[in-house]
């Protein structure tokens, strides 16, 4: 069972880890990028893949620069970096990673306009434009760039979150990167678990970047991610001579003349999840449907 965090709580977990481990923000960025690359190498081991990394100038872009550098260190031979140069502002960690990247023999292209992006052939497209800090719909050149990136060939990966998608809350606008695989840090984001994210995330994987788990567990988040093993202990083992009388009795009040399906489905769910005896209180008109579908229900 994992406690899930919203964007603000994730930032606080970053801050707490930096202050108390202690570790610098650039070191935490390196750790996150290393975790991303470790998974990348396992999933995409062929070293001559044509990899295009698209970076904003914030910390998600800094992750992208570090990822590109680490991929070169892993002997990937065709890594290109594209920086969306739509603003003068850039974070200090982005600047430092750009300095480190420029020490390598790697092609770096600056996009002054979205139209500067040519439709080239790539095997892997890595999206590192925006991270969890985004709280608005993208417009202008950013919107145009993401829509052009969505038309590129190749498998599309996102760093932490697809650019343009808030980690929680309503998805606004259509300028959202369509990711085949999102490699996210420490926890799945809340929106990953909701139907609205389906057009933008085909698959996601969590990588551990070493945030303080004690701090995460101390947060006031009401959201948890459960696995089968988390509820396995609540399931009583069945013995050879057990019967319906030793596994509880559930009484359901459900259904109406025009909505009898609700009673049938809920009774079926109750029965299949382990209740010994299931009784249903329904209108007389539904008895034939109930008895023909589930004669074991009273």
Residues 219 and 273 in one domain: no
- Report d(CA 265, CA 269) in Å as an integer: 6
268 belongs to a structural domain = yes
Overall average pLDDT of the 268-289 stretch: 89
pLDDT in tens, 120-179: 899 999 999 999 988 889 999 999 999 999 999 999 999 999 999 999 999 988 999 999
* pLDDT value of position 238: 83
Domain stop point among 172, 196, 227: 227
158 belongs to a structural domain = yes
Residues 200 and 276 in one domain: no
Residues 39 and 102 in one domain: yes
* Statement: residue 218 has pLDDT above 90: yes
Residues 109 and 15 in one domain: yes
pLDDT in tens, 79-110: 999 999 999 999 999 999 999 999 999 999 99
Q: Worst-scoring range by mean pLDDT, 28-42, 99-113, 250-264?
A: 250-264
Share of the chain above pLDDT 90, in %: 77
* Statement: residue 258 has pLDDT above 90: no
Residues 258 and 142 in one domain: no
For the chain, how many structural domains are there in total? 2
Interior/surface letters 156-191, b for 16+ CB within 10 angstroms, e for the rest: bbbbbbbbbbbbbeebeeebbbbbebbbbbbbbbbb
- Report d(CA 161, CA 225) in Å as an integer: 18
Residues 19 and 137 in one domain: yes
* pLDDT value of position 181: 99
* pLDDT value of position 138: 95
Residues 153 and 286 in one domain: no
* Statement: residue 234 has pLDDT above 80: no
Domain stop point among 203, 227, 251: 227
* Statement: residue 235 has pLDDT above 80: no
* pLDDT value of position 88: 95
Q: What does pLDDT average to over the chain?
A: 94
Range of the domain at 179: 2-227
């Amino acid at each position: 069972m994992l406690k899930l965090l919203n964007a603000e709580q994730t930032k606080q977990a970053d801050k707490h880890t930096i202050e108390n481990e202690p570790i610098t923000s650039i070191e935490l960025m390196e750790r996150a990028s290393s975790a991303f690359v470790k998974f990348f190498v396992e999933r995409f081991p062929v070293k001559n893949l044509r990899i295009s990394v698209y970076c904003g100038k914030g910390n998600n872009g800094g992750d992208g620069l570090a990822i590109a550098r680490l991929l070169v260190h892993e002997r990937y031979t065709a890594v290109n970096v594209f920086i969306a140069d739509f603003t003068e502002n850039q974070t200090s960690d982005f600047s430092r990673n750009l300095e480190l990247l420029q020490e390598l023999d790697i092609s770096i292209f600056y996009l002054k306009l979205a139209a500067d992006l040519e439709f080239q052939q790539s095997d892997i497209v890595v999206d590192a434009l925006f991270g969890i800090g985004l709280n608005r719909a993208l417009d202008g050149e950013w919107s145009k760039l993401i829509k052009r990136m969505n038309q590129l060939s190749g498998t599309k990966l996102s760093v932490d979150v697809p650019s343009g998608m808030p980690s929680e809350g309503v998805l606004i606008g259509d300028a959202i990167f369509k990711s085949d695989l999102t490699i996210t840090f420490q926890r799945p984001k809340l929106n990953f678990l909701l139907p609205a994210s389906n057009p933008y995330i085909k698959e996601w994987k969590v990588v551990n970047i070493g945030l303080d788990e004690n701090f995460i567990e101390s947060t006031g988040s009401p959201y948890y991610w459960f696995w089968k093993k988390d509820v396995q202990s609540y399931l009583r083992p069945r013995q050879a001579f057990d019967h319906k009388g030793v596994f509880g009795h559930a009484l359901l009040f459900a259904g109406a003349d025009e909505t009898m399906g609700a009673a049938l489905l809920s009774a079926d769910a109750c029965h299949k999840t382990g209740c010994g005896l299931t009784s249903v209180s329904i209108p007389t008109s539904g008895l034939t449907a109930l008895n023909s579908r589930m004669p074991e229900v009273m």
